[in-house]
């Protein structure tokens, strides 16, 4: 099956956000990946609600919102109201993850949990059946344009094996350093949603870069 493609708006030209969102609208992308960084959970700050609302105003595709923030519960409702369709929280940022996941679902959004490179997929065993998606970080979160970490493949194999027992329909998203070279192996290992920032927006033809990823199995 073809992967879903979620271009990361973090790599867009923020002075031309409407143009870049419209490029995604016209492309073969399925979602728009929106990276939220708070300068505490990760050593970088990206943007907040006014920018998400501006993206939502022009987007014709679902917003896939990746929260790299501490205490995400405090802001879930605001992210839903700003237009998020999928909300991802970090395992490492949630003390009461089950409660957080239920809160996301109660807001009418798809619930997803992200794992940092050092976090084992087996940490999710008890909650897997409640999740719509797991996001495997293939770089340390905080910045676009980093080098892909090869241990990601092993985690994908472990997660797909665990899913076959607990949650066969789970979406598995990979985020960080994804490009046309590693996409086929990621898909073969079980990834079915690919986030791509630099490999799309640094390309001379971003729309074609998205199409190439979409057909890269
Ligand atoms: C990193 C973000 C990623 C980032 C991906 O913390 O979560 O979504 O935008 O960018 P690339 O594809 O350039 O690694
Ligand atoms: Zn992300």
Separation CA 103–CA 128 (nearest Å):
16
**From the CB of residue 31, how many other CB atoms can be counted at a distance below 10 Å?**
21
- Distances, alpha carbon 174 to alpha carbons 14, 115, 177, in Å: 24, 10, 9
The CATH number of whichever domain residue 210 belongs to comes to 3.20.20.70
Neighbouring-strand partners of residue 67: 36
Tens of pLDDT, residue by residue over 120-130, are: 999 999 999 99
From the list 30, 35, 38, 64, the catalytic residue is 35
Residue 198 burial by Cβ neighbours in a 10 Å radius (0-12, 13-18, 19+): middle
83 lines ligand 1 (CB under 6 A): no
Separation CA 180–CA 141 (nearest Å):
21
The residue with tokens 């797991």 is: 134
Q: What is the pLDDT of residue 33?
A: 99
> Where are the extended beta strands (E) located within 51-108?
63-68, 84-90
198 lines ligand 1 (CB under 6 A): yes
Residue 175 Cα, ligand 1 centroid: separation in angstroms?
A: 6
Residue 182 Cα, ligand 2 centroid: separation in angstroms?
A: 17
**From the CB of residue 212, how many other CB atoms can be counted at a distance below 10 Å?**
18
Tens of pLDDT, residue by residue over 12-25, are: 999 999 999 999 99
Overall domain count for the chain: 1
* Residues 19, 186 contacting (CB under 8 angstroms): no
Separation CA 111–CA 131 (nearest Å):
6
The residue with tokens 């640094």 is: 202
Q: What is the pLDDT of residue 165?
A: 85
Collect the ranges in the chain with pLDDT lower than 50.
none
Q: What is the pLDDT of residue 166?
A: 82
Range of the domain at 52: 4-214
35 is catalytic: yes
Q: First-to-last CA distance in the chain? A: 8
66 lines ligand 1 (CB under 6 A): yes
Burial 40-61 (b: 16+ CB within 10 A, else e): ebbeeebbbeebbebbbeebeb
Q: What is the pLDDT of residue 1?
A: 83
Q: State the closest ligand 1 atom to the C-alpha of 200, by its place in the atom list counted from 1.
A: 12
Residue 165 Cα, ligand 1 centroid: separation in angstroms?
A: 30
214 lines ligand 1 (CB under 6 A): no
**From the CB of residue 162, how many other CB atoms can be counted at a distance below 10 Å?**
17
């Amino acid at each position: 099956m073809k992967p879903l493609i979620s271009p990361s708006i973090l790599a867009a030209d923020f002075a031309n956000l409407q143009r870049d969102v419209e490029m995604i609208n016209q492309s073969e992308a399925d979602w728009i990946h929106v990276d939220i960084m708070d300068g505490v959970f990760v050593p970088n700050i990206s943007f907040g609600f006014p920018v998400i609302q501006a993206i939502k105003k022009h987007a014709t595709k679902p917003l896939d919102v990746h929260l790299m923030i501490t205490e995400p519960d405090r802001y879930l409702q605001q992210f839903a109201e700003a237009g998020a369709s999928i909300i991802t929280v970090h395992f490492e940022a949630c003390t009461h993850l089950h409660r957080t996941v239920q809160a996301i679902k109660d807001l009418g959004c798809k619930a997803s949990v992200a794992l940092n490179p050092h976090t084992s997929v087996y940490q999710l065993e008890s909650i897997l059946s409640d999740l719509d998606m797991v996001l495997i970080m293939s770089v340390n979160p905080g910045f676009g344009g980093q080098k892909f970490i090869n241990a990601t493949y092993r985690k994908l194999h472990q997660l797909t094996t665990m899913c076959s027992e607990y949650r066969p329909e789970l979406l598995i998203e990979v985020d960080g350093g994804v490009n046309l070279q590693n996409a086929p192996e990621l898909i073969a290992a079980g990834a079915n949603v690919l986030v791509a920032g630099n490999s799309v927006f640094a390309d001379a033809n971003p729309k074609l870069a998205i199409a190439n990823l979409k057909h890269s199995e």
